[in-house]
Structure 1
Amino acid sequence: MSVQSFTADNAALLLIDHQVGTMGWVGSTSFEEMKRNALGLAKAAKAIGMPVVLTSSMEEYAQGPLLSELAEIAPEEFAARVKRQGVVNAFDDENFGAAVKATGRRNLIIAGVTNDVCTVYPTLSALQEGYQVQVVADAGGSPTKMADDIAIRRMDKAGATITSTNQLLAELAQNWTTERGGKILPIVASLMPQQ
């Protein structure tokens, strides 16, 4: 199977359940790293004109609201976010499926919280529907390292490409000296660990 490069022209970014409560349940990575990476993806997508679809689950319960920074980075997408009521697999929500289809893209970049529930099932559904999928594993996490490892193995075995935030952003940039590369480079720099 030939794998096509993901670009701003052929891919869409799906951010699933980056909610303050749900993110607090993650033990496989730090809250701050997960948040920094998810926001970095959103900033890059907006900077290069890639479609972004946001969804949340039961914001008024323990899961809590989506990260407020997403409203600043992607105000239209935040306002149009798909608010699911208890549907585990985002693709089982007809509004989410319609929002993804409306992007017109067959390459999906997926990051979600938690990887072992909110990321794995939409990824499997998207693959079954013929999408190419890259899962940005470090822009999400799971309650335990073991749960995260198992979810990542399951998605990988099903045909998703498992990637990291830096790796994905470099793929989207393709060349740091181009206009797109120049827009993504400062975002990549901002994600580097501070000494």
Structure 2
Amino acid sequence: MFIDHQPQMAFALKSHDVDSVRNNTEGLAKAAKAFKVPTILTTVSAKTFSGPIFPELQAVFPDLKPIDRTTMNPWEDKNVTDKINSYGKKKIVMAGLWTEVCLVDPVLSALDQGFEVYFISDASGGVSDEAHDMAVERMIQAGAKPMTWLQYMLELQRDWKDQTHYKEVIDIAKEHAGGYGLGLVYAGSMFGGGEGK
């Protein structure tokens, strides 16, 4: 679930560089799509306050319409929870802006409903380092598990000999995983495509 990756929310980010959050969010979205993870996009007051979802995120899921709402906690919007519960899963992964409001609230709500909850800390961000860090601490104390977007993708891949999503994972890493991705470009160039093997 991608929560409120929108311009107005990004303008106030101080815990992370906006470009990094955009890159990490896009990498996370591409990983979810590659592994066919059921995905939900949400926005808050898109037409009256926060603006459209990040264009690069929408481009990954061009046919997925964000669920727009007015509540700070997406879990309090029936359209969101109906969609979540329709998948019949007991694990949920979330990323969102801001960490201290629109991410921490649904994480705590999902835990209360009995979900096993993971959150992607580097595809999320807060209005200050302290706001982000305290929200992360609160979520961990409540039982949620923190991850980074790259960690999430590589846990989905699990084994380099599994070729099912190998090329997609390598391509996503090359584009979005910084030095690791550049290392894959280098290895492919210097050693004939032996990335990750």
Asked if these proteins are the same fold (TM beyond 0.5), I'd say yes
Tell me which residue corresponds to 1:152: 136
Q: 2:28 matched to 1:41?
A: yes
Distance, in Å, in 2 between the alignment partners of 1:84 and 1:148 is 23
Tell me which residue corresponds to 1:93: 77
Deviation at 1:156, TM superposition (A): 0.3
Distance, in Å, in 2 between the alignment partners of 1:99 and 1:76 is 15
Q: 2:9 matched to 1:22?
A: yes
The structure 2 residue matched to 1:119, chosen from 86, 98, 103, is 103
Distance, in Å, in 2 between the alignment partners of 1:101 and 1:193 is 35
Q: 1:129-183, CA deviations, whole angstroms, 9 ceiling, x for partnerless residues? A: 1111110000010010011110000000000001111111111111123113432
Tell me which residue corresponds to 2:122: 138
Deviation at 1:64, TM superposition (A): 1.4
Tell me which residue corresponds to 1:10: none
The structure 1 residue matched to 2:43, chosen from 51, 56, 71, is 56
Structure 1 length-normalised TM? 0.87
CA RMSD of aligned residues (A): 1.4
> How many residue pairs end up in the alignment?
179
The percent of aligned pairs where both chains have the same amino acid is 31
List runs of 5+ in structure 2 lacking aligned partners.
183-197
Q: Is the 8 A contact 1:169 1:188 kept in 2?
A: no
The structure 2 residue matched to 1:186, chosen from 171, 178, 182, is 171
Distance, in Å, in 1 between the alignment partners of 2:81 and 2:101 is 17
Tell me which residue corresponds to 1:170: 154
Structure 2 length-normalised TM? 0.86
Q: Is the 8 A contact 2:7 2:54 kept in 1?
A: yes
SS in 1 for 2:178: coil
Deviation at 1:44, TM superposition (A): 1.1
Tell me which residue corresponds to 1:73: 60
The runs of at least 4 aligned residues of structure 1 exceeding 4 Å deviation read none
Deviation at 1:61, TM superposition (A): 3.0
Q: Is the 8 A contact 2:7 2:51 kept in 1?
A: yes
List runs of 5+ in structure 1 lacking aligned partners.
1-13
Deviation at 1:191, TM superposition (A): 1.8
Deviation at 1:68, TM superposition (A): 1.4
Which structure has the larger Rg?
2
Tell me which residue corresponds to 1:82: 67
